[in-house]
């Protein structure tokens, strides 16, 4: 019986490694290879650095140092999967990136929420979404309804016995 335990544990580990990537909201997946790191995967698979991190919250840590060979990760979420990307090169600025991609700065920033408004935090090797429309975050709108009824609500306590809670009908 002890011989079956390692096989069972391997099966559980295999299921755990692929469970996240099989969620219905994942548009594309990738299996981690030897030597992979987040920016390398992002560049090779046309997925922005932000998108890779966002699609794998709770799976990949902020430093991206917990990738495991054979692990299946999500490359992008359905409806937010940007595959038009640019890899930041030495000397690049948001102005040079937006000019080369033919997009507005506001679109670049909307699709890359990890980039600050002054573009001071982009780095060589980072992969940015350069789609011509806003893809990241989708186009959902949240509406908050504020009730206008200002009436008074009064709570009236009701005595409940254990007999009435656990009573069963004899039907």
Q: pLDDT per residue over 23-36, tens digit each?
A: 459 999 999 999 99
Q: pLDDT per residue over 108-139, tens digit each?
A: 999 999 999 999 999 999 999 999 999 876 43
Mean of per-residue pLDDT scores for the chain: 77
Distances (CA, A) of 52 to 66, 83, 109, 144, 162: 14, 11, 16, 30, 53
Residue 163 lies in a domain: no
Is the pLDDT at 144 greater than 50, yes or no?
A: no
CATH number for position 44 = 3.10.350.10
Share of the chain above pLDDT 90, in %: 63
Residue 169 lies in a domain: no
pTM for the full predicted model: 0.67
Residue 49 lies in a domain: yes
Residue 82 lies in a domain: yes
- pLDDT, residue 2, reads 42
Its domain, for residue 61, covers: 4-129
Residue 144 lies in a domain: no
| Distance between CA atoms of residues 12 and 10, nearest Å | 5
Residue 168 lies in a domain: no
| Distance between CA atoms of residues 95 and 148, nearest Å | 47
Report how many domains make up the chain: 1
Between CA 103 and CA 105, with CA 104 as vertex, the angle to 5 degrees is 120
Residue 106 lies in a domain: yes
Residue 146 lies in a domain: no
- pLDDT, residue 166, reads 42
Is the pLDDT at 140 greater than 80, yes or no?
A: no
């Amino acid at each position: 019986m002890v011989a079956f335990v390692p096989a069972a544990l391997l099966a559980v580990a295999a299921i755990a490694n692929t469970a996240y990537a099989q969620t219905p909201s994942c548009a594309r997946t990738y299996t981690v290879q030897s030597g992979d790191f987040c920016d390398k995967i992002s560049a090779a698979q046309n997925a922005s650095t932000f998108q890779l991190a966002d699609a794998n919250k709770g799976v990949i840590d902020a430093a991206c140092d917990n990738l495991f060979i054979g692990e299946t990760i999500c490359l992008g979420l359905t409806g937010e999967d940007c595959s038009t990307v640019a890899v930041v090169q030495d000397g690049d600025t948001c102005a040079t990136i937006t000019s080369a991609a033919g997009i507005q700065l506001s679109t670049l920033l909307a699709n890359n929420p990890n980039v600050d408004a002054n573009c001071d935090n982009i780095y060589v090797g980072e992969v940015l979404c350069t789609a011509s429309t806003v893809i990241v975050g989708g186009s959902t709108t949240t509406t908050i309804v504020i009730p206008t009824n200002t009436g008074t609500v009064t709570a009236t306590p009701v005595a409940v016995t254990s007999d009435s809670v656990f009573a069963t009908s004899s039907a």
